[in-house]
Chain A
Amino acid sequence: MFIGFFYQLKEAGIPVSPTSFLTLHKALSRGLIASLDDFYTASRATLVKSERYFDLFDQVFAHHFEGAELPDFTGVELDELARSMLEEWLKDPKTLAAALGVDESEISKLTPEELIEYFKERLKEQTERHEGGSKWIGTGGTSPVGHSGYHPGGMRVGGVSRNKSAVKVAMERRYKDHSLSGPLSQAMIGEALKRLRHMIPSGPKDRVNVDKTIYQTMKNAGEIEIVFDRLLKDRLKIIIAIDNGGWSMEPYVHLVQTLFDYARAQFKDIKTYFFHNTIYETIWHDTSRFKRPQKIDEFARLDSETRLIIIGDASMAPYELMATNGSIHIEERSGKPSIECLKFLVKNFRHSVWLNPIPSNMWGYTQTIFAIGHILPMFELSIDGLEKAVAHLMAK
């Protein structure tokens, strides 16, 4: 039973295992599941093991049991497009109807939900074949929404009963926020940075080392000698350098702020510096990059085990990175091109990464991202990227 459903989940990219499927069947065979609602709850609890997939699960469930539209490759954009079309429609139905080549009066009978569905269908056809014109009018008989048949809008119409049906619950997509594409929150950052630890013995010798005690006691022929050790403590030193200048970093301020807040709370030995676009001979302690400069040459004195994390979009004019005196700030005349300064830092701190808030699929379009990525490893400022960055920082 429900094998089709199982494979649909799998195809949608939810990691479902056969074992958990068997568990679900165990529940079925014991009569624990009496209704579709029960089945929804039970199948989700047994098959799906992360809230990130709840949203996807809801969609597949609604599709399988009610024939709701399964979001495919183009799903999200289509959603958005259809929604904006709806807004357009509400403002000016005539023009849009004319543009689609349909009768205005026919569309105006539909509810907003149906309209969205209707638009989505149209859009999909449009992306598939560019024929336009006569193709627009629906082929599915009386319902203008054609083959999707039992569409979501229809289900909400009769929604008087107090208990929501499972499909309806699934339709609501309550877990959208948790899906993989969600924004990076502090808890996620915390989770990723947790691995960033460097345990070193410190403090008073107040831990009994049982193994050594036994060994020593035996060596003394039974005369007890208790061996104490120091406690292991996290002594990781971290330097964070943040690009806080210019409009190009503006959209990411919130994200960086979250990371920074967390890091400050979590690590004792952490230094924060600021720069604009890229690092020259000086970086600053203060956010206005004016009062408290710090020569990067002096970093040579610091522990080479210090982890260096640079956060910035790495997007600038190529000369800023490559040319001597490339800085866009007139007072910043170092004599060394920024790229040399970065190389110096990387040589000094063997564990260093660059975190970039720009999605990695966009990196190819910016020359300087490419160039910096060659000097030190660059990771995306996302959960995945952060985890990879931490793995790199902790590598031996």
Chain B
Amino acid sequence: MTNDKKSFSGAKHYVLDDELAKIVNISMELEMPLLLKGEPGTGKTMLAHAIAETLGMPLIVLNVKSSMKLIDALYQYDTLTRLNDSRFGDSKRDVSNIEEYIKMGKIGQAFTADKRTILLIDEIDKADTDFQDDMLDVLDQMEFDIIEIDKTITAKHRPVIIITSNAKKDLSDPFLGRCNFHHIAFPDPKMMRKIIKVHYSDIDSDLMENAVNVFYRLRELESIEKRPATRELVNWIRALKSDPDFKPRDLVKGDIPYLGILFKKSPDYARAINTVSRRRII
């Protein structure tokens, strides 16, 4: 890494492993989008926020929806307002100037921003393959055309692009060909302790040990639809900490309160309650 370039090494509320830091830095240097996959709750989205925070770059988030078309992410031609203006003429906009009715979408914003931005394209797997491929074309060439005004928008600064996907299935080959790829594994207990330390620096070591142990055991319960992830654990610990009657010893004894924070689906919750009440977990 050259010295004049900023490199990324973790943020205040994000625990980064070396491997991922390296990949982020390489992708930034090569100016290639980084595709992140992994279970929900492994911090894919958080990573982009963390990079933005550390490097002091503005973050632009494009939340992909299944019905989304590429053009929505680039720009919008507000025909209805123009139609309205042309009929009633009660605005200061110049109706004959179409450019006044063009609004930039998220990718457009990232291209036209005055400084280098981080563009987070979240949950790309929701959209169909055509969207994905077309989008990568745009991101590859760093420009797109606005047909209505016959103008080409070229990126002033190449944004740092982070793409996340929850899907187990692979994205299309041309898409993958243009990205770097990393799969974030679910953190192991050691990493998890670090993550908790980051969130609660003053945490009692008994509480942490016991909570993490119980958490990993609960994750292994069978036939759970949505297994608790990092976010749930962090919230759970917050609840445990704020309960004055709670003692870390209780967890060892098999008294596990606030299961509703860990299990969000009612069949899962019932199953967890059932297992815990039979003391099978310890």
Contacts and interface: CB of A to CB of B under 8 A. Distances in A.
Contact of B83 (A52, A185, A188, A224): A224
Interface in A27-53: 27, 30-32, 38, 41-42, 44-46, 48-52
B166 interface: yes
Interface of A: 15, 17, 19-20, 23, 26-27, 30-32, 38, 41-42, 44-46, 48-52, 54, 163, 174-175, 178, 185-188, 191-192, 208, 210, 224, 254, 257-258, 261, 265, 383
Contacts of B130: none
Nearest to A33: B26
Contacts of B183: 51, 54, 175, 178
A108 B90 CA distance: 93
B23 interface: yes
Contacts of B253: none
Contact of A23 (B1, B32, B173): B32
B22 to A, nearest CB: 5
Contacts of A188: 168-169
Contact of B181 (A19, A45, A192, A257): A45
Contact of B23 (A41, A52, A186, A257): A41
Interface string B11-39: 00000001100110111011010110101
A27 B30 contact: yes
B223 A45 contact: no
Contact of B170 (A49, A54, A185): A49
Contacts of B180: 23, 45-46
Interface string B189-225: 0000000000000000000000000000000001101
Given A54-B183, A224-B87, A27 B177 contact: no
Contacts of A210: 79
A191 B22 contact: no
Contact of B27 (A30, A45, A254): A45
Given A45-B34, A187-B168, A254-B222, 18 more contacts: A23-B30, A30-B30, A32-B30, A41-B23, A42-B22, A44-B181, A45-B27, A45-B182, A49-B170, A49-B176, A178-B183, A187-B39, A188-B168, A191-B125, A192-B169, A257-B223, A261-B267, A383-B169
Scoring B30, B87, B223, B267 by chain A CB atoms within 10 A of each residue's CB, the highest score goes to B30
Contacts of A257: 223
A265 B264 CA distance: 14
B166 A187 contact: yes
B169 A191 contact: yes
A30 B25 CA distance: 12
Interface of B: 1-2, 18-19, 22-23, 25-27, 29-30, 32, 34-35, 37, 39, 79-80, 83, 87, 125, 166-170, 173, 176-177, 179-183, 185, 222-223, 225, 267
Nearest to A258: B223
13 contacts: A31-B2, A38-B22, A41-B19, A44-B182, A45-B27, A46-B26, A49-B35, A49-B181, A175-B183, A185-B168, A191-B167, A261-B225, A383-B169
A175 B32 CA distance: 24
Contact of A51 (B25, B34, B37): B37
A41 B22 contact: yes
Highest count of chain A CB atoms <10 Å: which of B173, B176, B180 = B180
A23 B176 CA distance: 13
A32 B25 contact: yes
A15 B180 CA distance: 14
Contact of B185 (A19, A174, A186): A174
B52 to A, nearest CB: 20
A210 B37 CA distance: 37
Contacts of A19: 177
Given A186-B225, A210-B79, A224-B83, A17 B30 contact: no
B29 A20 contact: no
Given A30-B29, A41-B23, A187-B166, A48 B225 contact: no
A19 B140 CA distance: 14
Contacts of B1: 32
A326 to B, nearest CB: 34
A51 B42 CA distance: 15
A24 to B, nearest CB: 9
A231 to B, nearest CB: 10
Closest 4 A/B residue pairs (Cβ) = A51-B183, A49-B176, A191-B169, A45-B180
Contacts of B222: 254
A31 B2 CA distance: 8
Nearest to B35: A49
Contacts of A224: 83, 87
B90 to A, nearest CB: 16
Contact of A191 (B18, B25, B39, B168): B168
Contacts of B23: 41-42, 45
Given A49-B181, A224-B83, A42 B168 contact: no
Contacts of B27: 45
